[in-house]
Structure 1
């Protein structure tokens, strides 16, 4: 590659194809006594590195995972800044300045907060139909399709998702025959699987419930970008580990921060106070939530999914993704924990947390991946993030 070549994803894929997983990039040093010029490119690189180092303030960039994750995050930040893409305001950028003068007292309980929101008492009607299919071991392909087709918006989102390149690649990898276009829910069930498609529909059916949050509290475009980023990362991690419930991991990732949205709706001043403290003290937001609310968004989100009778393992993946000290529930939450760390590190949207959460050693050990395994998954995750955002929100541009 000649001097001056700007490396992009195609170059990196070529290097891997040539069995060159490690390369050295040599840079000419400035002559002795002469400072390097402050070129626009150098200024962009410096600003990007400062931003990423601040993001990693709780995550050791010299750790096994940090050594591969930090350069990937830095590369994305440099590309974004060099392209002149302005990062949309995340939740914390708005809400952190809107805390009440006095911090409100902690709330009574997660259950009390959920009782105060009529829309959250019962799940969407389409969810109830899907849930019946999931609970019935004798359900058929047509049963699964029928549970979804009565909601045209949901059906359209699922068909766009199944027609994505991710599923076509997956089918080719296992020797399956993927039709040129999946144009019906019955065919989608045949491609993905009835229970798997119903599980995906569970997560997607929840999206319309959380579109009316006041924009001065949270930028929902940025929030869902982070949620989708976590979802595609969780699915990729599950597949890399050979798990057969990758769709469940996707939905758990999609809904992992749903409790935070409930707090924005029901206790916005508590959340703003937690965000302001987290930003000022450079602390993980979930820890400040526990002090301000009396519980964190993961516990609240798990409570909501239990209230809606979501599958127990999916609920636990959400509930414990910041609480990994319970060994009985470690494997599923560990997938979401790592996916959340990765999505935050890469700057895929934001749900209120400015900093990458510390990676729990037990979670990393449980997953059994190497840092190189994880790094190899990131380009595919990033591509699928843009594609999935378009599937869910076709009228909006994908992330940079």
Structure 2
């Protein structure tokens, strides 16, 4: 017997032990012979996997792959192997991620999309031998427009900290900014939350989602609005935000599988994890192009290439900005440490690191990084999730990312 991913369950399989939902509710007893209804129940209730008699996870995955038409499977394999060419497939959970991506790209092929390994080709660009560098402080001070954060967020925070504040009061403060108001309402009514009925007021949104959670989402919207108008460079700004939204969505879903994690905070950490790179793109687009060139011609990670070109990387820029803006420390840690450089990363940073990798693996990699890198063992150990969470998270996110991107970038 073995743990089989929910996506690989088939009729006729027999449960070797009781099956539970993600919140511990008993769904099906040991000995149940699975039919379509049973499998649907397990998926609806968020079961990541099930213990199946006489079947291993590998055998179930192989059976799923064998059911795919050979032409589609070969095309997906060629693309995914190129995507993972810089990753160590012997390191958990990379084999699980590779298989999940095979299924994902097969489904996209069958939906009419095309896949081309030309995506991974790179024509080197001229790069000078000596590149002028400035200090981090000098660089961040280049744009006086970044000196302060939009006041609306701090008005929301002040209302939140007021003991006498109500949902109506907080909604009144948010409503002073029409852009943030409209996007928050759209988000609350999207598949991101999946409420069964239309939510037509901010006060109702605050009551349902939570005041602190709404304030964190408002922060994310405010940051995006702050950077509207940044011109495209070697990185498409819309593509950048699509990657960022994907990372936020994936981070939130991963967090939902862990007890005690604040899901909205994780969403905002994912949404803002590369904000320093957008600042770099705005202030020094040619330097960013050289960094991307160095990364793709040498194979090193883009943040390491940034250090070579700039003398610092995008997480350093984010740290400087967050401190200048006086944004919450818990957001700063998740954003600034998501590359896992600490020996013992925070759970928020580790989750964001995994979400970042999943976003690139799903093809939402327009942040300058196009190849999937190995998830560091310390990162995977820190979040302590079953490998089956990888595919479940990807499947859930695929349905949300495009909708939420359109909300944030409308």
Same fold (TM over 0.5): yes
Task: Check whether the contact 1:59–1:356 (CA below 8 A) recurs between aligned residues.
Answer: yes
Give TM-score, length-normalised by structure 2: 0.79
Task: Check whether the contact 2:270–2:355 (CA below 8 A) recurs between aligned residues.
Answer: yes
Task: Check whether the contact 1:45–1:78 (CA below 8 A) recurs between aligned residues.
Answer: yes
1:247 Cα deviation from its structure 2 partner: 0.8
Aligned equivalent of 2:18 = none
Aligned equivalent of 1:153 = 179
In structure 2, stretches of 5+ residues that fail to align are 1-6, 12-35, 43-49
1:134 Cα deviation from its structure 2 partner: 4.7
Task: Check whether the contact 1:230–1:254 (CA below 8 A) recurs between aligned residues.
Answer: yes
> Which of 353, 357, 374 is the equivalent residue of 1:337?
353
Q: Deviations over 1:141-160 (max 9, x none)?
A: 23321221111121111011
Give TM-score, length-normalised by structure 1: 0.81
In structure 2, what is the Cα distance between the partners aligned to 1:91 and 1:68? 23
- What is the number of equivalent residue pairs in this alignment? 364
1:216 Cα deviation from its structure 2 partner: 4.1
Q: Deviations over 1:57-80 (max 9, x none)?
A: 232233331121112212222333
Aligned equivalent of 1:368 = 384
Secondary structure at the counterpart of residue 107 of structure 1 = coil
1:367 Cα deviation from its structure 2 partner: 0.8
In structure 2, what is the Cα distance between the partners aligned to 1:273 and 1:292? 7
1:357 Cα deviation from its structure 2 partner: 2.9
In structure 2, what is the Cα distance between the partners aligned to 1:336 and 1:304? 19
> Which of 63, 81, 97 is the equivalent residue of 1:25?
63
Q: Closer, same or farther in 2 for the Cα pair 1:166/1:354, shift >3 Å? A: closer
In structure 1, what is the Cα distance between the partners aligned to 2:172 and 2:120? 41
Q: Deviations over 1:156-196 (max 9, x none)?
A: 11011111233236xxxxxxxx6x22111111100011111
Q: Closer, same or farther in 2 for the Cα pair 1:73/1:14, shift >3 Å? A: farther
1:348 aligns with 2:376: no
In structure 1, what is the Cα distance between the partners aligned to 2:65 and 2:9? 20
In structure 1, stretches of 5+ residues that fail to align are 1-6, 29-40, 170-177, 395-400
Q: Deviations over 1:61-118 (max 9, x none)?
A: 3333112111221222233345443689x9999xx76955415536323222211112
Secondary structure at the counterpart of residue 247 of structure 2 = helix
1:184 aligns with 2:222: no
1:228 Cα deviation from its structure 2 partner: 0.8
Q: Closer, same or farther in 2 for the Cα pair 1:284/1:27, shift >3 Å? A: closer
Aligned equivalent of 1:242 = 259
In structure 1, what is the Cα distance between the partners aligned to 2:369 and 2:127? 21
Q: Closer, same or farther in 2 for the Cα pair 1:375/1:126, shift >3 Å? A: same
Of 74-83 and 234-243, the range deviating more from structure 2: 74-83
State the structure with bigger RCO (CA 8 A, min sep 6), 1 or 2: 1
Of 148-157 and 348-357, the range deviating more from structure 2: 348-357
Q: Closer, same or farther in 2 for the Cα pair 1:278/1:141, shift >3 Å? A: same
Task: Check whether the contact 2:233–2:281 (CA below 8 A) recurs between aligned residues.
Answer: no
Aligned equivalent of 2:242 = 225
Task: Check whether the contact 1:302–1:319 (CA below 8 A) recurs between aligned residues.
Answer: yes
Give runs of aligned pairs for residues 37-76 of structure 1, distance below 5 A: 45-76=73-104
Q: Closer, same or farther in 2 for the Cα pair 1:158/1:281, shift >3 Å? A: same
In structure 1, what is the Cα distance between the partners aligned to 2:64 and 2:346? 43
Q: Deviations over 1:25-50 (max 9, x none)?
A: 3899xxxxxxxxxxxx7565444323
In structure 1, what is the Cα distance between the partners aligned to 2:85 and 2:243? 19
Give runs of aligned pairs for residues 1-20 of structure 1, distance below 5 A: 15=39, 17=41
Give runs of aligned pairs for residues 1-400 of structure 1, distance below 5 A: 15=39, 17=41, 22=57, 23=60, 24-25=62-63, 45-85=73-113, 101-102=127-128, 105=131, 107-136=133-162, 139-168=165-194, 180-327=197-344, 329-393=345-409
1:316 Cα deviation from its structure 2 partner: 1.1
1:120 Cα deviation from its structure 2 partner: 0.9
Q: Closer, same or farther in 2 for the Cα pair 1:52/1:27, shift >3 Å? A: closer
